[in-house]
């Protein structure tokens, strides 16, 4: 997805998609490093890994990637259907995502930050559903938060052609994604129990900023 101007305007318009991208980066890091080796929100990488697993008959690679892809798709479909009558709704979809991340955090804590195979797949599914839901909300904000290939293409095209374009917002999203993943990695090694709390805090901040932005606007 290429970055487009944010659907919200006002003082915090840029901070909202940035916080969501950081949230997605943190969730993907947790999923990749702590929940079986699949991404929660990066489908292309999961499909390639699943193809590798199929080609080598490695079920350990097929199970988590297949779970993540199916769960992400479920999240997209569910969020789209639930809010299809309210095309401008953002707070509701984000609150639903927040609820899933809280359940995931509770499961992670209950497993002592070291879930077994079955628990990892269950928590990965929750994370991927949440990222699918966030992707629907991000489309309503007209911003990239869970996948950044198109965003990187936009930045490079603008650099090569010299266009001002949306270079600033695209770079902001890419930086936020990496920052969220990096922060989650630090927590994973220092305070493993706290890793799921990071995306929860970031998502809560996003919801608050949406409300403040609309109220002040």
* 143 or 4: which leads in pLDDT: 143
- What is the secondary structure of 131-193 as a DSSP string? HHHHHHHHHHHT---S--HHHHHHHHHHHHHT--TTHHHHHHHHHHHHHHHHHHHHHHHH-GG
Q: What is the CATH topology of the domain spanning 15-209? A: Growth Hormone; Chain: A; (1.20.1250)
In this predicted structure, what is the pLDDT of residue 174? 92
For residue 144, name the pLDDT band (cuts at 50, 70, 90).
confident
- What is the secondary structure of the chain as a DSSP string? ------S--STTTTHHHHHHHHHHHHHHHHHHHHSSS--SS-HHHHHHHHHHHHHHT-HHHHHHHHHHHHHHHHHHHHHHHHTTT-TT--HHHHHHHHHHHHHHHHHHHHTTT---HHHHHHHHHHHHHHHHHHHHHHHHHT---S--HHHHHHHHHHHHHT--TTHHHHHHHHHHHHHHHHHHHHHHHH-GGGTTHHHHHHHHHHHHHHHHHHHH-
* 201 or 151: which leads in pLDDT: 201
Tens of pLDDT, residue by residue over 97-113, are 999 999 999 999 999 99
Check whether 213 has a pLDDT greater than 90. no
Return the percentage of the chain with pLDDT > 90, whole number. 74
In this predicted structure, what is the pLDDT of residue 165? 66
For residue 158, name the pLDDT band (cuts at 50, 70, 90).
confident
In this predicted structure, what is the pLDDT of residue 8? 56
Tens of pLDDT, residue by residue over 23-34, are 999 999 999 999
Evaluated on CA atoms 49, 176, 103, 119, the torsion sign reads positive
Sequence ranges of the domains in the chain = 15-209
pTM: 0.90
Check whether 157 has a pLDDT greater than 70. yes
Q: 19 near 90, Cβ under 8 Å?
A: no
In this predicted structure, what is the pLDDT of residue 11? 67
């Amino acid at each position: 997805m290429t970055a487009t101007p944010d659907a919200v305007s006002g003082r915090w318009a840029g901070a909202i998609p940035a916080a969501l991208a950081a949230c997605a980066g943190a969730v993907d890091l947790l999923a990749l490093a702590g929940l079986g080796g699949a991404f929660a929100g990066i489908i292309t990488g999961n499909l390639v890994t699943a193809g590798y697993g199929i080609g080598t008959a490695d079920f350990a690679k097929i199970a988590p990637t297949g779970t993540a892809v199916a769960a992400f798709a479920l999240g997209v479909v569910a969020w789209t259907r639930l809010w299809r009558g309210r095309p401008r709704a953002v707070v509701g979809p984000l609150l639903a995502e927040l609820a899933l991340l809280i359940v995931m955090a509770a499961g992670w804590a209950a497993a002592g930050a070291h879930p077994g195979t079955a628990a990892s797949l269950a928590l990965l599914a929750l994370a991927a559903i949440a990222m699918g839901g966030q992707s629907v909300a991000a489309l309503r904000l007209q911003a990239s938060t869970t996948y950044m290939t198109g965003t990187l293409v936009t930045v490079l095209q603008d650099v090569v052609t010299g266009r001002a374009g949306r270079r600033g917002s695209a770079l902001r999203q890419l930086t936020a994604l990496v920052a969220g993943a990096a922060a989650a990695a630090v927590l994973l090694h220092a305070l493993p129990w706290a890793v799921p709390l990071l995306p929860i805090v970031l998502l809560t901040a996003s919801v608050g900023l949406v409300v403040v932005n609309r109220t002040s606007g």
